[in-house]
Structure 1
Amino acid sequence: MDLIERLRAGLPAEALLTDPDVTGSYARDMANFCDAGAPAVVVLPRTVEQVQHVMRTATELRVPVVPQGARTGVSGAANAVDGCIVLSLVKMDRILEINPVDRIAVVEPGVVNAVLSRAVNEHGLSYPPDPSSWESCTIGGNIGTAAGGLCCVKYGVTAEYVLGLEVVLADGRLIKTGRRTAKGVAGYDLTRLFVGSEGSLGVVVRATLALKPALPRQLALVAEFDSVTAAGEAVCRIMADGHTPSLLELMDRTSVRAVNAMAQMGLPETTEVLLLAAFDTPDPAADLAAVGTLCEAAGATQVVPADDAAESELLLQARRLAFTALERIKPAMLIDDVCVPRSQLAAMLAGAAAIAEKYDLTIGVCAHAGDGNTHPLVCFDPADPDEERRARESFDEIMALGLQLGGTITGEHGVGVLKKDWLARELGPDGVALHRGIKQVFDPLGILNPGKVF
């Protein structure tokens, strides 16, 4: 019995896609420079039992399986390999429970981040992790890549909100990890092991997530700087002074001009760096005033606080538009994701600018300044072989710079295919060997998302 027949024996007809034109549309995520193969079949399960059937079949026939969410990732982690089963979890999209007393939500992996956020808001709660693609990315994908977002500086990243998981292993067994209690330290923390594993250890089919009380409305300010050194100094002063902004974001001049060109937002184009700070404290105006003073002391040329929540949201919308706006400059874009110590933020920005000049490329930088997570965005035309080569080389230099400054190759986007070689450099041979040993325990046949991470 062949693969399709074996799968069909335990799946409804609508859960199997075999038309090559259709399956080909599931072959890759949004990453450039990442190879993708041709899947043999795409499976869209709706139940845990159906996922188990897929994994048992894959194990018996030794067929690779590539788990997928909404494919909004930018590292190639969701890219198909030739002859694989693409296991798309977008149809498993139920919110199973929202518990205001225990402050948890139990969800399937295909639930869209924004859908969950709005649902818990109706109960006076919030789910803080908010990746820039929150309107389309799924919770399963967020867990797979350990996603972050704009509010990480105060409220943390996805890993801090995943209390427990139900996971289908490579051989079809279903295991439960973690808890639904506020505290718990029983056994090894397998939950954290799965978070960020990019589908290489198992298939998440249910997640228990911690919730917070509804977040207060925030007020923001924008500070202009005529040098990256001054902007970096401002970030250091804000954090050293003990402030906890709900958001601390940075946009360089290239990003600002791109947003203005797309949305006509009237942001100041003459400045080198814009720093956006926001507070949702009991007295946000006072906190903004204190931060404004620190920015001026660091060399800000202008500090403009928002008058109200609506104006604050307009400022934050400008930051959210940066990726989309920079994508319009050239036909393709490499999205880097280098996180450095906050104290090295200015050096990272200056280095990225020097790399852009060296390779004669447009490289816009926006950053979650509060946690040092920079996103140098390399714009290029893949139809121009020389420009594509320069883009690849500039990307590598940016990665090397991040490591040189004591940083890491990815703060929230994951490794996938794009950064495999760089992960090996960051971990070293012994670290890679330990990773491979762990994968061997969970996936001895190596069928789960092969060729990814390491």
Structure 2
Amino acid sequence: MDDRDDAGHREPGADLIAELRAGLPDRALVADPDVAASYAHDQASLCAAGRPAAVVLAESVEQVQHVMRVASRLRVPVVPQGARTGLSGGANAVDGCIVLSLVRMDRIVEIDPVDRVAVVEPGVVNADLSKAAAAFGLTYPPDPSSWETCTIGGNIGTGAGGLCCVKYGVTAEYVLGLDVVLADGELLRTGRRTAKGVAGYDLTRLFVGAEGTLGVVVRAVLALRPTPPPALVLAAQFGSTAEVGRAVADITAAGHTPSLMELMDGTTVRAVNALANMGLPEHTEALLLIALDTPDPRAELAAIGELCTAAGAFEVLAADDAEESAMFLTARRLALPALERLGSSMIDDVAVPRSRLAAMLDGVAGIAAAHDTVIGMCAHAGDGNTHPIVIFDAADAAATERARAAFDAIMELGLELGGTITGEHGVGSLKRDWLARELGPVGVRAHQAVKAAFDPLGILNPGKVVAP
């Protein structure tokens, strides 16, 4: 009996497993449904995930090409994955798909201290690259909060940022070239490893932030920078959001370029106190952490401290050394674990102009009150990238509905303030409809045209980023 559908395509199933197995070692293929189901989703709460037909733990470019050729021939969707630390459902499986995990492709192929580049496979963990570069007196600046577990491929897929973006920029600014396996299994090389290069369309940037919907990144050439001096940190505490917003604006307007400028609202500060007994004042409405990594930062930190005091800070403390600075930053790194202890969480990722930061903080507080929902706020204040964290009881249907409504209201507020629905976490499935609103009809059609050019069968990470 011929197992073909009405269009003449062979139905996936046993044929899919057999064809995958023909080009893969046994250790690379997971066909057991229960084991495969454990790869179904990333860390985004309440994002739907399907059941994969198979999981491939690829170890080479050739294996990735084999997977894509089989998938193209059988018209089977493929969901590329890294460490699954994402927060937008971008790595979530769809029913009957092949999950293509790149975590075993984890070689640092080369670090060149003269050209200041690293050549890496997508499964390299961000922190491992940083440690390897440090041996050459170099650093890879993008540093997502999950840097000790997230992979470079995932960072490229989402266009990840991090704490130090205010001075050093985001992932896209460090990706010089890529090797990408396309939907039909062909290998495309983009970009360069030279310091400059403008030949042709910038296809490299096109793949950064595409979340695996246009191709599968299998190698990257990344720019490195000289390791900066250890940073010193200043902590300023404010009694109102208006004051901290004024401080951020004044620091930027005065020409200061901190290596880090992080903000935590009062809800988050109190949650951190409850978790780790940090001794932060319970009446704080905003804690601002500012770091400088210049050769002699003390005088500039003092000037920044004066700006914070003038803006209304009731306490300003500057660290004496790198060890004390690390202690100051502990509160920021504990923010998400502290809030997660309060219940289930939905983490928003709205970026607004720095000048509208106080309006964003006030607006989120109003949304929390209107929806009877706890929302803690962290922010990369230096670049306006806010992370409102909606806390709720997932077992309570009414609370879950209020949380979803609050999440949507936050994104609407961000757009109203001239911002964007995501600064670094990506769109995934969580924000696909909101992306259409941000882009507008012409922008959506342009995205669909690009998708069709690279993936005419629509098999690469379907349902993510932009609607078909």
Q: Does 1:21 align with 2:34?
A: yes
Is 1:443 aligned to residue 444 of structure 2? no
The residue type equivalent to 1:434 in the other structure is A
TM-score by length of 2: 0.96
Deviation at 1:301, TM superposition (A): 0.9
The one of 172, 178, 182 equivalent to 2:191 is: 178
**Does residue 404 of structure 2 align to residue 376 of structure 1?**
no
| Partner of residue 131, structure 1 | 144
Q: Deviations over 1:161-183 (max 9, x none)?
A: 00000000000000100000010
1:85 aligned onto 2:98 = yes
* 2:70 matches 1:38: no
Deviates more, 1:336-345 or 1:250-259: 250-259
**C-alpha displacement at 1:97, in angstroms?**
0.2
Q: How many residues align?
A: 453
CA-to-aligned-CA distance 1:362-404 (integer Å, 9 cap, x gap): 1000100000000000001111011000000000100000000
Equivalent in the alignment of 2:223: 210
Q: Within the alignment, does 1:106 sit opposite 2:119 as a pair? A: yes
**1:42 alignment partner, SS class:** strand
Identify the residue that residue 204 of structure 2 maps to in structure 1.
191
Counterpart residue type for residue 251 of structure 2? I
CA offset digits 1:20-44 (Å, max 9, x no partner): 1111110000011211000000001
2:433 is aligned with 1:433: no
Shift of 1:131: 0.2
Aligned equivalents of 1:389 and 1:160: distance in 2? 38
SS at structure 1 position matched to 2:38: helix
Q: Tell me, in whole angstroms, the C-alpha distance in 1 between the residues paired with 2:167 and 2:337.
A: 25
Q: Which amino acid counterpart does residue 258 of structure 2 have in structure 1?
A: P
Q: Which residue of 1 aligns with 2:6?
A: none
**Matching residue within 73, 80, 87 for 1:60:** 73
1 CA distance for matches of 2:121 and 2:276? 35
User: Per-residue displacement from partner, 1:130-182 (whole Å, max 9, x unpaired)?
Assistant: 00000100000000000000000000000000000000000000010000001
Whole-angstrom distance in 1 between the partners of 2:338 and 2:115 = 41
Distance in 2 of aligned mates of 1:216 and 1:317: 19
Q: Distance in 2 between matches of 1:433 and 1:313?
A: 47
> Which amino acid letter does the alignment assign opposite residue 283 of structure 2?
T
- The C-alpha deviation readout for 1:69-128, integer Å capped at 9, x for no partner, is 000000000000000000000000000000000000000000000011111011110001
Q: Note if contact 2:88-2:427 (Cα within 8 Å) is conserved in structure 1.
A: yes
Instruction: Name 2:8's counterpart in structure 1.
Output: none
Displacement after TM superposition at 1:262 (Å): 1.4
1:325-344 to structure 2, matched below 5 A, reads: 325-330=338-343, 332-344=344-356
- Aligned partner of 1:200 in structure 2 is 213
2:162 to 149, 158, 170: 149
Structure 1, unaligned stretches of length 5 or more?
none
What does residue 298 of structure 1 align with?
311
Which secondary structure state, in structure 1, belongs to the residue aligned with residue 376 of structure 2?
A: strand
1:392 corresponds to which residue? Answer: 404
Which residue identity is paired with 1:228? T
Give runs of ≥4 in structure 1 deviating > 6 Å.
none
Give the drift of 1:257: 1.2
The one-letter code of the counterpart of 1:230 is E
Q: Does 2:434 match 1:418?
A: no
Residue aligning to 2:21: 8
- Distance between the aligned counterparts of 1:241 and 1:309, measured in 2? 25
Q: Secondary structure at the match of 1:26?
A: coil
Alpha-carbon distance in 2 for matches of 1:108, 1:11: 19
Per the alignment, residue 272 of structure 1 pairs with: 285
Shift of 1:268: 2.2
* Conserved 8 A contact 2:247-2:311: yes
Between 1:431-440 and 1:1-10, the stretch displaced more is: 1-10
Kept in 1, the 8 Å contact 2:228–2:294? The answer is: no
Q: Which residue of 1 aligns with 2:4?
A: none
Q: Work out the CA distance in 2 between the residues paired with 1:268 and 1:204.
A: 46
1:357 matched residue in structure 2:
369
CA distance in 1, matches of 2:218, 2:55: 17
User: Amino acid of the residue matched to residue 387 of structure 2?
Assistant: H
What's the counterpart of residue 320 of structure 1?
Answer: 333
Separation in 2, partners of 1:272, 1:214: 34
Partner of residue 163, structure 1: 176
The residue number in structure 1 matching 2:7 is none
Which amino acid is the alignment partner of residue 205 of structure 2?
R
Structure 2 residue identity aligned to 1:343: S
Q: Give the aligned partner of residue 250 of structure 2.
A: 237
User: Where does 1:216-255 land on structure 2 (aligned, <5 Å)?
Assistant: 216-255=229-268
Per-residue CA deviation, residues 248-268 of structure 1 (Å, 9 max, x unaligned), is: 000001111111211222222
Q: How far, CA to CA, are the matches of 1:182 and 1:327 in structure 2? A: 43
Q: Deviations over 1:334-378 (max 9, x none)?
A: 000000000000000000001111111110001000000000000
Counterpart code for 2:20: L
* Distance in 2 separating the partners of 1:271 and 1:62: 56
Q: Which residue of 2 aligns with 1:283?
A: 296
Deviation at 1:316, TM superposition (A): 1.2
Which deviates more from structure 2 when the two are superposed, residues 332-341 or residues 250-259?
Answer: 250-259
Q: Secondary structure at the match of 1:418?
A: coil
TM-score by length of 1: 0.99
Look up the equivalent residue of 1:382 and give its one-letter code. Answer: A
Identity %: 72
Counterparts of 1:47 and 1:100, CA distance in 2: 26
* Separation (CA, whole Å) in 2 of partners of 1:336 and 1:227: 22
